[in-house]
Structure 1
Amino acid sequence: MFWESVLIAFEGLRANKLRAILTMLGIIIGVGAVIAMVSIGLGVQQKVQASIASQGSNLLIIMPGANSPSGGVRLAAGSNITLTKQDAQAIAREIVGISYVAPAVSQQFQIIYNNQNWKTSVQGTTPEFLTIRNFEVASGSFFSSRDDNARARVAVLGQTVATNLFGNISPVGQTIRMGNAPFRVVGVLASKGQSSMGQDQDDLVLVPLSTAQERMMGITYINSISVQVESEKLIDQAQNDITTLLRARHRLAANADNDFSVRNLTALLAMMTETTSTITILLGNIAAISLVVGGIGIMNIMLVSVTERTREIGIRKALGATYRNVLLQFLIEAIVISVTGGLAGILLGVAGARVISLVAGWNTVISPLAIIAAFGVSVMIGVFFGIYPARKAALLHPIDALRYE
């Protein structure tokens, strides 16, 4: 009897193909929207995580001019002059659990090669920068500590700078001009792409720290210190120790605010992951509303079907069909609509996510869990919204049904 009820349900749907397809549209759009929206949210989350991770693992960044919570003029981090190269050396020397320390300065310069020019950020740093920030050298080599001590005029180019100045020519060994001073290109960095904020991480030039400070910018302070900790477990302790050390070196009174800030990228990653997860759930829930609308459409069309087939139901019951047989027949019709719509919605959602990725350039991640959840919800909606019409049909009295016009 079960399979007979299934066949009768399919015959009922085939008799009204257009109506069944239009009813499925609500489920198709709902499931597709959930999968596409969750894919976009997961893509954003993945991009943010990759961008922060690309800055370096177990990384602390120290900036001058920290915000003060105690009133007065609040300076943006990095806008003050409070950190020196000696601070970075003290951190490397005195703080336990530190792997690498790289002080850095940065300023915009016009880079010139023959008749080509490009304005970019020139960063003065030490060889440890390469390891801390997970950069790799694609061609040539990185400058050494000897170059830093000698204030050598050598430079390592990011891919964006190399492409715009040299095109298909190898920059290694060529001479460029920065601030009217000649620099020899010793290497080109491998591409890292854009950060989560849309910043091009390849649009930079790296030079030795002493060269940048003394020969290019004429400064004695530094703009930031990047610190790589040996283990994630030691990050909080290292952050506290660095804060204590710098307060002592800067001779800050006990009640004085820090004139620097220590940023923990691991904590930032956790916060950003939580935020993007919340956004993903929100997008999925908004899209799921259309699934409920689709369920209401199923209930509506099944009620119409029960009304149209009242005499058929009366005949079946008069011939011996039980309450269970009639209930199962109409419930299967509702489930078939929701299952078919769910499968079509999966295809629509996956295709939609791919199209969004190709057309808009957004990163999307297809989640098997989202597909299973959306399909499961569509089936449950079919059952939930199909029960009332099916029960109404099953409760019809045979004599009343046969008299129905």
Structure 2
Amino acid sequence: MSQVLCSSRLPERWNGWIGEEGGMQQMVDILLRLPGGLKLSPRSVGEKIVALFPKTPLVDKLEVAGPGFINISLSKDYIIRILTETLRSGVRPPPLDKRLRVVVDFSSPNIAKEMHVGHLRSTIIGESICRLLEFLGHDVVRVNHVGDWGTQFGMLIAHLQDTFPNYLKESPPIEDLQAFYKESKKRFDDEPEFKKRAYECVVKLQSFEPESTKAWNMICDVSRKEFQKVYERLDITITEKGESFYQSRMVTIVQELESKGLLIYDEGRKVMFGREQDIPFTIVKSDGGFTYDTSDMATIKYRIEEEKADWLIYITDAGQATHFVVLQHCAKKAGIFDPKKVRFDHVGFGVVLGEDKKKFKTRSGETVRLVELLDEGKQLLVKSISGESVYLRSVDTVLMN
């Protein structure tokens, strides 16, 4: 369009209004508006566009019709050739300007807890994004940021020691980790002595005491096996790199933030503000422990500086949107993240709702297990293929919300 108009004197009011990349609708809009300002008839403007239109194998003929409309006839030979190539070679993506290294964080269940229906959305959306980016030619790193660290492991280890005292010599037969977790949580809430011992186990684990570390590994392995069964059913490929991986890096990030004068003492905590109007990140708790905020700061530093990521994508429920906004501002303030060099996206999704428009749970009030939902979906599929008309409430609810 700029080439067409360069031979005419363009009024100053049009400056910046016409770009090189205007769409067809913009071209038509311009065509209808320009004549009055340039004292040209619409047909004259149309003829100028046709005369200067670059040659392309896609277009067979251009002609001005009526008062100034441009009719474009596509080349049948060109379209036939493109369709033939597509049939022979399949659909191919357009060439990349630059191949990016993309780290996609998705699924991310908690160790010692079963995957629930909410994990289904994160997992499927994340895998879909990964496959699309790989199809386009990008270097994609799938990351499962599992919750495999924290104070909850103290009560799990203490309960393991009581329930399976011979665990160091024989692998404990924990068949239902969810029930095991509930048992340990009940003891933690009801038994002061057990609670005290659970905290002692946390301290031992954080100092990597051998027996506690072995117990922790056993518990994690039970969860991993259950997670893997789900991933295989869904045909998901993902690499685990959980919170425990970043423990030493959390110490480093705290030291870095302190050396830069970015931490503020607040009622015993060490907090950081990305911007004045943001809620702060709690980097160190009053008891000296770390938080999810600390973990995410260490994680983004690792992914940018060591994974060499050009693009970071986090797949979580929409309720965490504010957290990721604060993460970007804190990482930018710390000199870790530069939005001009690294792209950052949070892909948020809604929670799975039941018929009461509340978080989808079973009749007993518990979160719906993903394994049960997949089993039910399989039954629905089999009956559908066999011609039976069937309606399963849970599957329909998940799909419709």
- Into which bin does the TM-score normalised by the smaller protein fall? under 0.3
Higher relative contact order (CA closer than 8 Å, sequence separation 6+): 1
Length-normalised TM-score, structure 1: 0.23
Which structure's CA Rg is the greater one? 1
